[in-house]
Structures are given as C-alpha cells and as structure tokens.
Amino acid sequence: MKKKSGNINVLAEKREKIEIANETIHCIDLFCGVGGLTHGLVNGGVQVLAGIDIDPQCRFAYEANNNSMFIEKDVNQLIGHDLENIFGDSKLRLLAGCAPCQPFSTYSRKSNRVRNDTKWELVSAFSRLVKEAKPDFVTMENVPQLLDHQVFKDFLEDLQGYEITFRIIECVNYGVPQTRKRLVLIASRLGSIDILPPSFFGYHNKVTVRQSIAHLPAIDAGGSAAKDPLHTASSLTNINLRRIQASKAGGTWRDWDESLLAQCHRKKSGQTYPSVYGRMSWNEPSPTITTQCFGYGNGRFGHPDQDRAISLREAAILQTFPENYCFLAPNEQVRFSKLGRLIGNAVPVRLGEVIAQSLISHLQNLN
C-alpha cells in the first residue's frame, strides 16, 4: 500500500509540473520605458499585464505598440499589494525590473568623485517589491558595473528562496546588431534556471549595420523620409559636414586634414577618443546606442556612407525594435533629445525575447 501511495504521489507531482509548464507567465515590467523589454517578452511568449514608469513621455509608445497598460508612477511609491492587484489570479508571476543606470554611466561619472545619486535607490526599491509581492520569477537587466556595487550584493541576498543565475551578456552574440554589454539576472522559485545560449536561437554570426539599416531610404542631414517621420537625421554645421565628408567608414578623425580637427582632438586627452565624429562600418555591428546617438559628434554615430548621423529610426532598429514600432503620436513633432533618450535608454527587444524563452524553457524542463 505504501508503494502504491508513493506512485500516486509521483503521478500527482508529474501532473502538477505538466500543468505548470502549460501555464502562461504574466509579467509586470517596472521602469518599462517605451517598452523594449515588454515587447521582447511578449514576442517570446510572456504576457505583460502592465508597464510602470515615472516618465509620462513613455506612455504613447508603450501603449501604442503593446497590449499592456501603462501606469505612470514612481516605483518608490509602490507596495507589494499594488502589484498583487495587477497580477490578480495569475498563477505564474514575473516581476521585471531594469532600473535606470545613470549612476554607472560613463557620461554621468565624475572622475575621482563619488556621486550621490538618488537613482541608486531604485535597485533597492525593486528588491523591496520582490520581497513584498513574492513573484515566481524575477529578472533584472542593467549595466555590467552594477556587479561591483553593494546594492547588487544586497539584491542577491534579498532573493532568498530563489534559484538565481546572472551573467554579463554580449548582446551582439544574441542577434543585436550593436556591441552592447548588459548584466542579466533571472531567478525562479520553482527550481534551477539558466539563460539560454546564443546557439539555442541559431545565432552564429554577428548581425551587421548593413543587414539592419541598408534598406532604408537615403536622407540628408536635417532631412526625413516622407513615409516615416522617425527616419529623421539631425542637421550638421558646416564644419561637421566637412568633417563627415572627410571620414571613412570605421575610420577616425585622424583621417582628416588638420584644419578639421576640433579643440578636443588637439589636446593630449583627446587622443583616447578615436570614435568621436566617426562613421559606423557597414560590415560590423554598431557601437552601443546611447541617448545621444543622433549626434554625429557624440560617438561613432555617423552613417557609413551618407553624410549625416544615423536617424532615430536607424537607432531604434539597431536596438532591435521592429521597423513599424511607433514612437510618435499623431501630429507630434520630432524632438531629438526626447526620442534619443527614450530609444537609447531602452532594453533591446531581442534581449527581452531571450529572457522570455529562457523562462519558458525552464518551465518545460522542470524535474
């Protein structure tokens, strides 16, 4: 009789695991921005119920492209009960949190000085919400420098009861056409979990700038495409037009005539920034897309052969947003500073797909 009872228990356990594997994962995306992570999660098979962000300028793009509601709220003001109300009767719950990483940004760090930035608190707020809401799964995406800070060590300690995996992801290995490194963490209450390797998705060769944006119509500096207002490039001063005309794809400002050099290039410190005022290479991935990627002088953001910086649409495509992803409300004018920030701060859509598929694979392989 004991043996029979054991068999019944084993069958019941197997049945429960099969039922879990067939359940849909429901997600709340904290710090959702314009929906890069949300869009990738949905593409990968996760249902995103809501995105939460303090920035009202994210609302249109988030809701126009995703079947999810946008909640404008400071994450610091959320409590676990708020998230439980959104999750409702969802059986499998994922809490995603990609806290803004300005404290660790190369552009925002001050040499030999420690920044007192309140955005450090956002990682801690995310950790608090995990403890209060107790989701089945947790995922975090952030800059690699977070690994070296106490706030990340504290976050790991707060994930008691979870199996955890985290690593630095070379996004280019997962089909993202840019050299972007990100820290990705996935945690599960249900058992051991891992991030699927690039080979699982069939990624063997790097996706290039040519493969990503060469098909778009040619435009001039300061011009835009008739059918896509986001395919708009910032204007150039006369000196910068001459500089980009003298630039080679993949080259540096050292290719220029001395009369074109900027003051920063003439200083000894300027010798370490060869990519500034550079053109991208057709046959390589792009550099990391930043919030300033629309400006020719802000990095290697020159188009490979057109005399202009990359357009906002090209930046979005290099972030693996689909070409029809809508960032502009009807009759809204293009504002480079706003749209550059929203696109540059986004999680690449492809990375969201990797996270979603890793979670679903985890469910299917529970034992």
The yes-or-no answer on residue 27 being catalytic is: no
Distance CA 27, CA 41 (A): 9
CB 195 within 8 A of CB 358: yes
Q: How many CA atoms lie within 13 A of 114 on its CB side?
A: 4
Report residue 288 as tokens.
Answer: 């990391």
- Rounded mean pLDDT of 97-110? 58
Is pLDDT at 119 greater than 80 in this prediction?
A: no
pLDDT tens digit sequence for 23-49: 899 999 999 999 999 999 999 999 999
**Model pLDDT, residue 256:** 86
Distances (CA, A) of 82 to 56, 73, 85, 159: 19, 11, 5, 20
Is pLDDT at 11 greater than 70 in this prediction?
A: no
Q: Are strands 69-72 and 92-97 parallel, antiparallel or unpaired?
A: unpaired
**Model pLDDT, residue 113:** 37
Non-local CB neighbours of 162 within 8 Å, separated by 6+ positions: 138, 187, 188, 189
Distance CA 107, CA 144 (A): 15
Is pLDDT at 107 greater than 60 in this prediction?
A: no
Distance CA 279, CA 58 (A): 30
Distance CA 150, CA 22 (A): 38
Point out the catalytic residue in the list 101, 171, 264, 326.
101
User: Look-up: residue for tokens 């990359």?
Assistant: 310
Question: Taking the mean position of all CA atoms in its chain, how far away is CA 254?
Answer: 32
pLDDT tens digit sequence for 44-58: 999 999 999 999 999
Distance CA 246, CA 24 (A): 54
Whether the model clears a pTM of 0.95, i.e. scores above it, the answer is no
pLDDT tens digit sequence for 158-169: 999 999 999 999
Residue 292, judged by CB atoms within 10 A of its CB (0-12, 13-18, 19+), counts as middle
- Dihedral sign for Cα 175, 190, 80, 146, please: negative
Q: Which domains does the chain have, with CATH numbers?
A: 18-206+347-364 (3.40.50.150), 209-344 (3.90.120.10)
Report residue 48 as tokens.
Answer: 């995103």
Distance CA 122, CA 366 (A): 32
CB 310 within 8 A of CB 281: no
- Dihedral sign for Cα 160, 33, 168, 353, please: positive
**Model pLDDT, residue 266:** 62
User: In the structure, what pLDDT confidence band is assigned to residue 2 with cuts at 50, 70 and 90?
Assistant: very low
pLDDT tens digit sequence for 212-269: 999 999 999 999 999 999 999 999 999 999 999 999 998 888 888 788 887 666 665 5
CB 341 within 8 A of CB 295: no
| Residue 115 backbone phi and psi in degrees, to 5 | -80, 140
**Model pLDDT, residue 265:** 64
**Model pLDDT, residue 114:** 42
Distance CA 231, CA 186 (A): 35
Distance CA 44, CA 63 (A): 18
Non-local CB neighbours of 336 within 8 Å, separated by 6+ positions: 234, 294, 295, 312
CB 141 within 8 A of CB 98: yes
Is pLDDT at 111 greater than 70 in this prediction?
A: no
- Rounded mean pLDDT of 190-215? 94
User: Collapsing DSSP states into helix, strand and coil, what is residue 190?
Assistant: coil
Is pLDDT at 317 greater than 50 in this prediction?
A: yes
Average pLDDT score over the chain? 88
Residue 6, judged by CB atoms within 10 A of its CB (0-12, 13-18, 19+), counts as exposed
Nearest alpha-carbon partner for 307 in 207, 233, 216: 233
Nearest alpha-carbon partner for 216 in 208, 225, 229: 225
Question: Taking the mean position of all CA atoms in its chain, how far away is CA 287?
Answer: 14
